[in-house]
Amino acid sequence: MSSPTIPEEILEAFQKQFGFALLIKGTAGTGKTTLALEILSRAKNPIYISTRVSPEFLYEQFPWVADFLNPSNIYDATQTYFPTITQTQTQRFKVFKYSDVPNFIEIIFEHFQGVEEPTIVIDSWNAVIGYRLPQDVQEEKFSNLITELVRKTNIKLVLVAENPEISFLDYLVDGVIITHDLRVENRRARVMELLKMRSIPIKQPYYTYTLDSGRFKLFPLYKFQFPSILLKPEPLPDPHKDFISTGILDLDTVFGGGLRKGSVYLFEVAHGVGDGYLNFIIPLFTNQLNSGRGVILILPEGYSAKSFNLVQENFVDREQFLKQFISFERLNESQKPEEKSYIQPLNNRIDITFQQIWEKAKNLKNNNFGPIVYFLGLDKLENTYEEMEIIRALSDHMAHIKGSEGDITVILAREGQNLIDKISHMADNHWKVRLLNKALVIYGVQPESEFWLVANDTSRGYVSLNLTPVV
Summarize as ranges the residues that interact with another protein (CB under 8 A). 1, 226-231, 310, 313-314, 458-461
Contacts of 281 (CB under 8 A, 6+ apart): 375, 410, 412
Cα–Cα distance between 119 and 154 in angstroms, integer? 10
Contacts of 231 (CB under 8 A, 6+ apart): 314, 460, 461, 462
CA dihedral 152, 158, 160, 161 (to 10 degrees): 40
What is the smallest separation between the CB atom of 247 and another protein, expressed in angstroms? 18
What is the smallest separation between the CB atom of 463 and another protein, expressed in angstroms? 10
What is the smallest separation between the CB atom of 249 and another protein, expressed in angstroms? 17
What is the smallest separation between the CB atom of 98 and another protein, expressed in angstroms? 43
State which residue, 119 or 314, has the beta carbon closest to another protein.
Answer: 314
State which residue, 314 or 437, has the beta carbon closest to another protein.
Answer: 314
| Amino acid in the structure at residue 214 | G
Cα–Cα distance between 325 and 99 in angstroms, integer? 76
State which residue, 154 or 459, has the beta carbon closest to another protein.
Answer: 459
State which residue, 203 or 460, has the beta carbon closest to another protein.
Answer: 460
Beta-bridge mates of residue 90: none
State which residue, 227 or 370, has the beta carbon closest to another protein.
Answer: 227
Cα–Cα distance between 335 and 346 in angstroms, integer? 14
Instruction: Report the SS3 class of residue 422.
Output: helix
What is the smallest separation between the CB atom of 456 and another protein, expressed in angstroms? 9
Burial 162-196 (b: 16+ CB within 10 A, else e): beeeebebbebbbbbbbbebeebeebebbbbbbeb
What is the smallest separation between the CB atom of 217 and another protein, expressed in angstroms? 17
The DSSP bridge pattern shows strands 295-298 and 325-329 to be: parallel
What is the smallest separation between the CB atom of 457 and another protein, expressed in angstroms? 8
Cα–Cα distance between 199 and 202 in angstroms, integer? 9
State which residue, 449 or 458, has the beta carbon closest to another protein.
Answer: 458
State which residue, 137 or 231, has the beta carbon closest to another protein.
Answer: 231
Burial 9-33 (b: 16+ CB within 10 A, else e): bbeebbeeeebbbbbbbbeeebbbb
State which residue, 424 or 458, has the beta carbon closest to another protein.
Answer: 458
Say if residue 300 is exposed, middle or buried (CB neighbours under 10 Å; 0-12, 13-18, 19+). buried
What is the smallest separation between the CB atom of 17 and another protein, expressed in angstroms? 18
Cα–Cα distance between 417 and 213 in angstroms, integer? 38
